[in-house]
Structure 1
Amino acid sequence: MDLKDLLDGQLQIHAYCENPDIVMCGNKCDLEDQRAVKEEEAKEFAEKYGIPYFETSAADGTNVNKAVETLLDLIMKRMERCVDKSWIPQGVVRSNGHSSTEQLTDEDKEKGKCGC
């Protein structure tokens, strides 16, 4: 399976949305002699599809934190865009179990309950 097939197929099947936040990691950068994909080839692919790319090593930790932080930044930016635009579709069940269509009663408001 080539990388394009992975992006178009497997990733979309398991993704949480149509355009998921991803970073691409070339692993085992500390083992150059065992490289399966040339670094330049991987960088070109990532650039072509607008994907952040990192050469990583679990053995010595090279760029592992940076890759994770970049992915988290992408996710947080997406969440901020959704919140800024009040993007919670009608009927969506929030993590607290309440539907976005539920309204507080006057009695709930008097008791100091919130709608979150």
Structure 2
Amino acid sequence: MVNIDGKQIKLQIWDTAGQESFRSITRSYYRGAAGALLVYDITRRETFNHLTSWLEDARQHSSSNMVIMLIGNKSDLESRRDVKREEGEAFAREHGLIFMETSAKTASNVEEAFINTAKEIYRKIQQGLFDVSNEANGIKIGPQQPASASSGPSSYQRNYEGTSDSSSCC
């Protein structure tokens, strides 16, 4: 849950790690999604090269209003970088995506990526681009809170220390 302008917005996350075996499953998730995070590993060029295919799937199986953020992950591994930041920015610009680099290991920009995506979804709600009365659109408005209400400690407190699973993409 994130608090934007006093409104609670719930984010549901499906992580397929870019694996082809999940491709048919993710297509059904796109149908009800208001937003998607497309993540590639800045240290592995092949994950960046597959973005076009994943983006085509997302766009084909989702609402034209779906917010998509492109994320270059592992920004903490600058010395092993294989995809330049400028390449990610150019891809995002070319395809009308929001762009950010993150590090899941250090949590740098991770929460901001979710919040920025939620803010863009909320902006589209305010513009009337999403029908919030129909939960099939992937949006459920929670109880409203005053804008000054504290959301408490960071909701992103996973410890990624010691994880070195080379089979996942990001």
> Structure 2 length normalisation: TM-score?
0.44
For residues 1-116 of structure 1, what are the structure 2 equivalents within 5 Å? 2-8=50-56, 10-15=57-62, 17-82=63-128, 94-95=134-135
CA distance in 1 between counterparts of 2:113 and 2:75 reads 14
The 3 A distance-change label for structure 1 pair 94 and 50 is: closer
Indicate the structure whose relative CO is greater, using CA pairs within 8 Å and at least 6 residues apart: 2
- Greater helix share, 1 or 2? 1
Residue 22 of structure 1 aligns to a residue whose secondary structure is strand
Residue 118 of structure 2 aligns to a residue whose secondary structure is helix
CA distance in 2 between counterparts of 1:37 and 1:69 reads 24
1:14 deviation in Å?
Answer: 4.3
Structure 1 residue ranges without an equivalent (≥5): 96-116
CA-to-partner distance for each residue in 1:76-115, whole Å, 9 max, x for gaps?
01111118xxx75xxxx744xxxxxxxxxxxxxxxxxxxx
1:44 deviation in Å?
Answer: 1.1
CA-to-partner distance for each residue in 1:21-46, whole Å, 9 max, x for gaps?
01111001101233342211111111
**Greater gyration radius:** 1
- Greater strand share, 1 or 2? 2
Residue 68 of structure 2 aligns to a residue whose secondary structure is coil
> Structure 1 length normalisation: TM-score?
0.61
Q: How many residues align?
A: 86
